[in-house]
Structure 1
C-alpha cells in the first residue's frame, strides 16, 4: 500500500489570533509573516496547512457583550470554535502598559476552559521599542502555561526598528524562521492523543467552590 502524499491528507488547521487595531497594523504584519513561515515549514514536513485569521479588532463589541452575558455569539463564537479546533495557534498582540493588550486578554478570558490544552502555540508581540520584548516571557508565556498550551521555545518580538530593511532581512526574519520551524515540528509530531481527556500527571485537582466551603 502506498503512503498518502501531503495533498491526500487533511490540512493542518493553523489559527492566527492578532490584536492589532491599526490599519495597517504591525501586529497583523508580524502575524502574517509567522503564518507564512509556519505554512512553509509544515510543507517541508509533508503537511498542508489551512490558515485562518482572527482579527480581534472586528470583534470588539461582541467581546464586550460576551463578558457581560457569559457566552460568545455569531462570528465571535465561530472564532472561539476555530481556536478550540486548531492544530496550532499563533497569537500576536501589541504591547500596552508593559503587557498584552486588554483586547487580547478579553478574548483569552472568554475561551472555554481547556480550549488550548495541549495545543502548540507560538507567541508574538509588537511595540515601538525593544525595551518591551520581555513581555513575551513575563506576561504571555505564564498566561499560556496556565491555559496548558504547549508554547514553542522561541517567541517573536518586533520593535519599530525591525521593520526597516536591515531588521527584516536579518534579525526579524531569523527569529521568525526559527519559531516557525519549532511550531511546525510540534504540529507534525502531534498525534491524535494530543488532547486526550483526563487530568495530566501532576495536575492539581479542581478547587472546591467557595460556597461549598462556607456551607461546611
Structure 2
C-alpha cells in the first residue's frame, strides 16, 4: 500500500485549497493508500523562521516525508508564487528530501494569470530537492470551488475532471515507480 503525504502550504485552515486536498485524499484512500497530512503552517513558527533543523517538530515532519512514496504539494498562489510558509518548510527538508518520490502539485489562485506558477516557481525548488518524478499538476481558480451555506466546499465539474485525471496519473506513476524500486521477488 503506497504512502502519500499531503503537504499543504495554506496558512488558512478553511482555504478553498482544502476542497482539492480533501478530494485527493478521499480518492487515494479509496485506492487503499495510506494518507497523511502535513500543514506547514502548523509547524512551530520559530522553528521555521530560525531554520531549526534539529527541532523535534521539523524532524518529525521530515520523517513523514522521508517515509512516503509520494507527496502532494498543495498551495494557494500569493504574488505569483506558492506561500512563504511552504517555502520556509521546503528549505528545511534535506537536500535529497524528495528523491525517489512522485510529486503531485495542487495549486489554487484568484486568477488564471498565475497558471504557470507550478512550472516557474515550484518545479525549480522541487528539482533542487531531487524530485525527478513530478506529475502534471492541477491549477484551479478560486471561483471553481464554492463555499456552501453548510460550511462545506463544492468543486465545479470541470475541475473535478482534471483532478480525477491528475490523481489517476499520479497513482499510476507512484505504483509503477514503486514496483521499479523494489527488488524482484523471483
TM-score range, shorter chain: 0.7 to 0.9
* Cα distance, 1:78 vs structure 2: 0.8
For residues 182 and 5 of structure 2, what CA distance do their matches in structure 1 show? 17
Secondary structure in 1 aligned to 2:139?
A: strand
* Contact kept in structure 2, 1:72 and 1:110, CA below 8 Å: no
2:75 touches 2:82 (CA, 8 Å); kept in 1? yes
1:193 Cα offset (Å):
5.8
SS of the residue corresponding to residue 77 of structure 2 reads strand
**Matched pairs, number:** 175
Are 1:187 and 2:174 counterparts?
yes
Which of 44, 47, 63 is the matching residue for 1:62? 47
Q: Could you say what secondary structure the match of 2:35 adopts?
A: strand
1:27 aligns with: 17
Whether contact under 8 Å (1:31, 1:91) holds in the other structure is: no
Give the aligned CA root-mean-square deviation in angstroms: 2.2
What displacement does 1:88 show? 0.7
**Equivalences for residues 97-136 of structure 1 within 5 A:** 97-136=79-118
Find the aligned partners of 2:125 and 2:65 in 1 and give their Cα distance: 16
> Could you tell me how far 1:189 is from its partner in structure 2?
1.3
Relative to 1, partners in 2 of residues 1:190 and 1:96: Cα closer, same or farther, differing over 3 Å?
Answer: same
Bigger share in helix: 1
**Bigger mean CA deviation after superposition, 139-148 or 92-101:** 139-148
CA contact (8 A) 1:20 1:26 kept: no
Deviations 1:38-80 (A, max 9, x none): 333xx2xxxx211110011111332123x1x4x1422332111
Q: Unaligned stretches of 5+ in structure 1?
A: 1-10, 197-216
1: CA distance between counterparts of 2:158 and 2:54?
A: 39
| Cα deviation, residue 179, structure 1 | 0.9
Structure 1 segments of 4+ aligned residues over 4 angstroms from their partners: none
Contact 2:95-2:128 at 8 Å conserved across structures: no
Contact 2:72 2:106 in 1 (8 A): yes
- Bigger Rg over Cα: 1
Other structure's SS at 1:185 match: helix
1: CA distance, partners of 2:168 / 2:156: 18
Shift of 1:164: 3.9
Q: Answer whether contact 1:117 1:195 (CA < 8 A) is retained.
A: no
